[in-house]
Amino acid sequence: MNDEWNGGVAVVTGAGSGIGEGIARAAASRGMKVVIADIAVDRAEAVARSIRAAGGSALAVATDVSDATALDRLADRAYDAFGHVTLLVNNAGIEMLGHVWNIPAETWNKTIAINVLGVIQSVRAFAPRMISAGKRGWIANVGSIGSLGMMPIQTPYMVSKHAILSFSECLALEMEMIGAPISISCVLPGPVATRIFDDAVEGDEGKASGKHRAIMADMLRTHGLTPDEAAEIILDGIAAGQFWVPTHPELTEAMARTRAEYLIGDHRPHLTEDSRTLL
């Protein structure tokens, strides 16, 4: 446990369910006041009530991370309610399925607006105040083990998660450049039993999308960590100042090695046996 977090303030986007909810609850258990941001305000309120019922401090804020002004309001609400933000976790994200040529423009735009710009604009809204305070702080952006790989049918998601890793790398360099005491992490979850595939929007109605959704959702339910288990691993990694924070270190290392070999060898993308079963 990080003693610097006890009594501090955590802001978690997409905290009405899944990994975000787990992180919010784990942060509260470590003595933090928690701001629970989610577009589904009923879910956010339910999480906040349960934290308060357990003796913690929590505030639910309805937030559409695709709206930059909503993230400005979130920052204002967080600072007005609890003061200096210690930990910002940009977790909100969605999954989209389909062949790239069948996914409508508005679906592409929604995915990028939430998964990529939602993280970027959240950092823009919070980082200046965190930096100016001159205090230790932590910003964690939730990517995916997919940030290191490739997968057909999940192209919008994969593109967005590669972007989050790149953004986090550059953000870490900029914090180092100015000497800010802000630790940057990129969270790389592996299989975690959330609703992400149950809630995924299909860009087309083809058989590939439906089969992919069913297989992936079943895999998460059968083999995934619970959100609470993942949250504890994630917060431990962030508190330790890790840049990469994997929920499944061995799987992440294997993915990284495969990626490195692919880049060094100048290979062409090809379907693996695992990816073939999804088609």
CA distances from 139 to 13, 186, 202, 239 (A): 12, 9, 31, 10
214: pLDDT strictly greater than 80: no
State the alpha helices, DSSP H only, in 58-206. Answer: 68-82, 105-112, 118-133, 155-178
- Residue 266: the pLDDT is 74
**Domains recognised in the chain with CATH numbers:** 3-276 (3.40.50.720)
Is the separation of the CB atoms in 260 and 197 below 8 Å? no
153: pLDDT strictly greater than 60: yes
Residues 209 and 169: their CA atoms lie apart, in Å, by 32
> pLDDT higher for 7 or 202?
7
Q: What percent of the chain has pLDDT over 70?
A: 86
197: pLDDT strictly greater than 90: no
Amino acid, single-letter form, for residue 193: A
113: pLDDT strictly greater than 90: yes
Confidence label for 199 from pLDDT (cuts 50, 70 and 90): low
Mean pLDDT, the chain, as a whole number? Answer: 90
Confidence label for 267 from pLDDT (cuts 50, 70 and 90): confident
Residues 64 and 128: their CA atoms lie apart, in Å, by 21
Active site residues: 157
Cβ-based neighbour number of residue 46 at 10 Å: 17
Residues 200 and 125: their CA atoms lie apart, in Å, by 27
Tell me 192's DSSP state. B
List pLDDT tens digits, range 82-94: 999 999 999 999 9
Confidence label for 3 from pLDDT (cuts 50, 70 and 90): confident
- Residue 248: the pLDDT is 95
213: pLDDT strictly greater than 50: no
- Residue 260: the pLDDT is 94
Confidence label for 193 from pLDDT (cuts 50, 70 and 90): confident
Mean pLDDT along residues 150-159: 93
Which residues does 67 contact at the CB level (< 8 Å), separation at least 6? Answer: none
Instruction: State both tokens at 159.
Output: 């593109």
- Residue 276: the pLDDT is 59
- Residue 219: the pLDDT is 53
Would you mind telling me the total number of residues written for the chain in this entry?
Answer: 279
